[in-house]
Amino acid sequence: MKIDHFAYRFLPATTPGLPTLVLLHGTGGNEDSLGDLGAEVMPGAACLSPRGLVLEHGMPRFFRRFAEGQFDLEDLAFRTSELTAWLAVALAHHGAADAPIVFVGYSNGANMAAALLMAGIRADVAVLLRPMFVHRPAQIAPMAGTRVLISSGARDRITPPESATQLAELLREHGAAVEQVIFEEAGHDLLRVDIERATRWLRGLTETQRLSPGSR
């Protein structure tokens, strides 16, 4: 696979020793959508952000769906394998193959990040913003040592918190340490409280050396 298979943005680290953030946008986003978010939740970290290859009415996504909440699972499997292969190439290309990885995904991007974790891609931490339970794959990789923060909105009708709770339970079944927060005032859009919570959570992992090279 070639590096230009995905359109993407890479911002090199300005602070040595921090993880690489892999930023995965929501429907209609692109490689620039989560750049400011990445810079805020972990200042100084390298950021790698691909653009989803699937188009839904012209809006980029990471995998197809037939309708709201109805997903093309064959396409999800294919896109998961495709993105896994590309990430290996991109991280090596930018000298980040051995650095800890943090997934930060929003909505469709959060669902893609969860699929990558279940497929066995190496990741130390994932911040899943407005994810939902998509399906239970026949084979799920062990995730012992992976830490996951799920951020849900109580008023979210697109990715309801009950569905995100199902996802949290599935990840826990396979060894991940999962924390889910539900903000009563939030819908599907992200609020300042989402960003502040993710920032504090990641800072805590960094300060306790749980996000340093060789931590796993």
Specify if 97 maps to a domain.
yes
Is position 98 annotated as part of the catalytic site? no
Question: Has residue 195 been placed in a domain?
Answer: yes
Q: What is the pLDDT of residue 210?
A: 64
214 located within any domain: no
How many CB atoms within 10 Å of residue 63? 24
What band does 211 get if pLDDT is binned at 50, 70 and 90?
low
Residue 73 lies in a domain: yes
Q: Which domain holds residue 11?
A: 3-207
Residue 212 has a pLDDT of 59
Catalytic residue among 163, 188, 189, 215: 188
**Known active-site residue 174:** no
Q: pLDDT tens digits, residue range 39-77?
A: 999 999 999 999 999 999 999 999 999 998 899 999 999
Residue 122's pLDDT band, with cuts at 50, 70 and 90, is confident
| Mean pLDDT, the chain, whole residue set | 95
Number of C-alpha atoms within 13 angstroms, CB side, residue 202?
Answer: 30
pLDDT above 60 (res 182): yes
In a domain, 153, yes or no: yes
Residue 187 lies in a domain: yes
Mean pLDDT computed over 141-151: 96
Is 33 part of the annotated catalytic residue set? Answer: no
Contact 79, 53 (CB under 8 A): yes
Is residue 214 over pLDDT 50?
no
Least confident of 14-18, 149-153, 171-175, 185-189: 14-18
| Position 212 in a domain | no
Q: pLDDT (tens digit, 9 = 90+) per residue, 78-119?
A: 999 999 999 999 999 999 998 899 999 999 999 999 999 999
Residue 57 lies in a domain: yes
Q: How many domains does the chain have?
A: 1
Q: Of 33, 49, 152, 156, which residue is the catalytic one?
A: 156
Look up the CATH number of the domain holding residue 131: 3.40.50.1820
Other Cβ atoms within 10 Å of 26 Cβ, number? 27
Query: For the range 189-193, what are the long-range contacts, defined as Cβ-Cβ under 8 Å and sequence gap of 24 or more?
Result: 189/153, 190/37, 190/106, 190/129, 190/130, 190/151, 191/153
- Given a contact cutoff of 8 angstroms between Cβ atoms, the answer to whether 158 and 130 are in contact is yes
Which one is catalytic: 33, 49, 107, 151?
A: 107
